[in-house]
Structure 1
Amino acid sequence: MDIAFIVAALIAVAATVRVVTCYNIMHALLYLVVSLLAVSVVLYTYGAPFMAVLEIIIYAGAIMVLIIFFVMMLNLGLETAEHEKAWLRPRIWIVPGVFCLVLLGELLYLIVQNKQPAAGIQVVPPKQVGMALFGPYLIAVELTGILLMAGIVGAYHLGRQHKKTLHRFLENNLNT
């Protein structure tokens, strides 16, 4: 086995364990991004660079959007500002940052090495993946897009309703 695969797999396992054991949702989401980046490096070592890029763009990008929704929906004013300052402390970012630097170093090493996939592995070009997605699986892709859009609209609606309900509650209690 390649050393890059072993290191990336160990980082993926360690980050995933931290996702499950973290009490703070922000820390768990940060470790989830690191775990998905490590899985991307594992996919690259298997000879699937296109899948590795899709892993980063789709999954790690989706988690970053989830972090934005988390901050947006729970923004409650001054109390939240103190929590956000706590998230920016270096001790929280050191371990995920080191994991990401190791993964970046591995990925750069693998790219410079330009290692070809094993003999039994067939490389699928991106055009063929696109033709498959938008050919026989077009309805599934469109339904997934609609589902994601419904999730975004629902998150926005829930965030707005919470503020309206909070304002009504405060107005009613202040008037009585």
Structure 2
Amino acid sequence: MELAFYLSGLVAILATVGVITGTHAVHAVVYLIVSLIAVALVFFALGAPFAGALEIIVYAGAIMVLFVFVVMMLNLGPDTEREQTLMHPRYWAGPSMLALVLLAALAALISQGVVGETIDGELLTARAVALTLFGPWLMVVELSAILLLAALVTASHVGRRSNAPGTSSRSTGGDS
């Protein structure tokens, strides 16, 4: 269990360095996803499977959806030379090796049967998370939901394009 914890922590650090030093946005996002999955495996090793699953679902899934949304919003044209260099194996070797290390650590955890064990004797369940979030932290959860809604409206407004050249995308209120 300790080996999986330390391996996952090392992978998280190395992948985060890859995010920071990455020169291309696609490669940085791939390293970011590997880093988030490594942090989820740290949660699994510490005996918090629900927190690990939330890490994968919310963060790794949301980052991918956000990245796809940004690429669609920017409406980047096809650049065949650039696409061919992005698919070169040397760019994917680092994240692939880190993911294989994570897979080995997860296999070691599963083979030992310690995925559900805890360190302090308390298992983090969905009920415990719900009681914490919607108990003393209710106002913070609601404020973050309002902030995310405002960000969604802002992204929609910024990403909107005009229908015809030379016209504004804003409505004039029927004064034409």
* TM-score, normalization by structure 1: 0.79
Partners of 1:60 and 1:101 lie apart in 2 by 17
User: C-alpha displacement at 1:33, in angstroms?
Assistant: 0.9
User: C-alpha displacement at 1:143, in angstroms?
Assistant: 2.3
Relative contact order (alpha carbons < 8 A, sep ≥ 6): 1 or 2 greater?
A: 2
Over residues 141-165 of structure 1, what are the superposed CA-to-partner deviations in whole Å (9 max), with x where a residue is unaligned? 222222223222322322224xx39
5 Å-filtered alignment, 1:53-64, equals 53-64=53-64
Match of 1:44 in 2: 44
Match of 2:173 in 1: none
Match of 2:118 in 1: 117
Partner AA of 1:8 in structure 2: S
Which structure has greater helix proportion? 1
**Does the residue aligned with 1:77 lie in a helix, a strand or coil?**
coil
Match of 1:17 in 2: 17
5 Å-filtered alignment, 1:61-100, equals 61-79=61-79, 83-100=82-99
CA contact (8 A) 2:11 2:35 kept: yes
Over residues 37-82 of structure 1, what are the superposed CA-to-partner deviations in whole Å (9 max), with x where a residue is unaligned? 1111112111111111111112112211221122112223234x65
When structure 1 is superposed on structure 2, of 7-16 and 141-150 the one drifting more is 141-150
**Does the residue aligned with 1:78 lie in a helix, a strand or coil?**
coil
Q: CA RMSD in A?
A: 2.6
Partners of 2:71 and 2:77 lie apart in 1 by 11
Match of 1:173 in 2: none
* Residues 166/105 of structure 1: CA separation in 2 closer, same or farther (3 Å cut): farther
Partner AA of 2:2 in structure 1: D
Partners of 1:166 and 1:76 lie apart in 2 by 19
User: C-alpha displacement at 1:84, in angstroms?
Assistant: 4.3
Over residues 68-118 of structure 1, what are the superposed CA-to-partner deviations in whole Å (9 max), with x where a residue is unaligned? 122112223234x65445433333223212222321232233123222223
**Residue-pair matches, total:** 165
Any stretches of 5+ residues in structure 1 without a counterpart? 170-176
